[in-house]
Amino acid sequence: MSGKTLTERAVEVLTCADGREKTAISKAHAEAWVAARDSGKPMEVGTASPPLRPARPEKPELLAPRDVPRRRPGTPAGRIALLHAVAHIELNAVDLHWDIIARFGDAGMPLGFYDDWVKAAAEESKHFNLVCDRLEAMGSFYGALPAHAGMWRAAEDTAADLLGRLAVVPMVLEARGLDVTPGMIEIFRKAGETETIAALEVIYAEEVGHVAYGSKWFNWLCGRAGADPKDEFHRLVRHYFHGALKPPFNEEKRAEAGLPPDFYWPLAEETPVKAG
Ligand SMILES: [Fe+2]
Ligand SMILES: [Fe+2]
């Protein structure tokens, strides 16, 4: 096991279908990377050929977003559906962080780039398990309900463009998580579900870091290329992201993550007529 490169390990995570198993492998590889870094003999990053899409369990059934049934959050079934959607997002996030590692092993990035995404992947693995534990405590499980297909689209679209990947995944999609998580925590607070609140608070705190890693390496790459980060961000989000950004924004947490208002507001103001 010790001879494997980081990108080979990333592919192992991506090609494992089962959620609990995938996150266990993810955690073990993250620990091996950190141990090697701490010993002063970093693991080789290497290069690999990741699959275009990660392996997925047979359940949940993946449906187009418009076909996923909506349930009212004021009911226990509605809260289970909400947590099920979060579990699905977390599982995709595990794969997204390993995918950026697997796909961009030869991008000439400093080791700190891999440190950050390995840490993020380990945190997403924890998030997935925290949410699955809550679902199981509530009498459900990940796979019991249908989930959104298409969550991997941003990854496919940016499979050959590291700057585009950073703009769309951590700086748009994960930043959106910062906007909506406080409202979600409020739903569970109203229901008095303390353990779920605790899990969501962990997720909320750690997601700021993932957006910050995105912003940090996006700016670093722009600096290396002599490009203006704000202009590049606008260009890439318009190119790869389908639709406008949705206010209200969590200005405070976005600032903490290094995302200034002049990055995201101009992309929200182009809001086309809302479809569906
Ligand atoms: Fe997460
Ligand atoms: Fe994340």
The H-or-E segment that residue 147 falls in is strand 147-148
Total domains in the fold of the chain: 1
CA of 124 to the centre of ligand 1 (A): 4
Q: What is the pTM of this model?
A: 0.95
Task: State which residues of the chain have pLDDT below 50.
Answer: 1, 275-276
The CATH number of residue 88's host domain is 1.20.1260
Asked if residue 247 belongs to a domain, the reply is yes
**Counting ligands in written order, which one lies closest to the CA of residue 175?**
2
CA of 207 to the centre of ligand 2 (A): 5
**Counting ligands in written order, which one lies closest to the CA of residue 257?**
2
In this predicted model, what pLDDT tens digit does every residue of 65-99 receive, in sequence order? 888 888 888 899 999 999 999 999 999 999 999 99
CA of 172 to the centre of ligand 2 (A): 11
Asked if residue 59 belongs to a domain, the reply is no
CA of 43 to the centre of ligand 2 (A): 24
Asked if residue 46 belongs to a domain, the reply is no
How confident is the model at residue 72, as a pLDDT? 83
CA atoms of 155 and 102, how far apart (whole Å): 12
Asked if residue 6 belongs to a domain, the reply is no
CA of 207 to the centre of ligand 1 (A): 6
CA of 211 to the centre of ligand 2 (A): 7
In this predicted model, what pLDDT tens digit does every residue of 231-248 receive, in sequence order? 999 999 999 998 899 999
**Counting ligands in written order, which one lies closest to the CA of residue 88?**
1
Count CB atoms within 10 A of the CB of residue 276.
Answer: 4
CA atoms of 265 and 77, how far apart (whole Å): 35
Q: Is 172 exposed, middle or buried (0-12, 13-18, 19+ CB in 10 A)?
A: buried
CA of 254 to the centre of ligand 2 (A): 13
Question: Cβ(10)–Cβ(101) under 8 Å?
Answer: yes
Asked if residue 24 belongs to a domain, the reply is no
How confident is the model at residue 1, as a pLDDT? 47
How confident is the model at residue 270, as a pLDDT? 54
Asked if residue 229 belongs to a domain, the reply is yes
**Counting ligands in written order, which one lies closest to the CA of residue 207?**
2
How confident is the model at residue 150, as a pLDDT? 84
CA atoms of 140 and 160, how far apart (whole Å): 38
Question: Cβ(233)–Cβ(217) under 8 Å?
Answer: no
Asked if residue 67 belongs to a domain, the reply is no
How confident is the model at residue 276, as a pLDDT? 44
Asked if residue 102 belongs to a domain, the reply is yes
- Bond from prior residue into 76 cis (ω within 30 degrees of 0): no
Question: Cβ(10)–Cβ(50) under 8 Å?
Answer: yes
Question: Cβ(158)–Cβ(165) under 8 Å?
Answer: yes
In this predicted model, what pLDDT tens digit does every residue of 252-275 receive, in sequence order? 999 999 999 999 999 996 555 554
CA of 89 to the centre of ligand 2 (A): 9
Domain span at residue 130 reads: 72-268
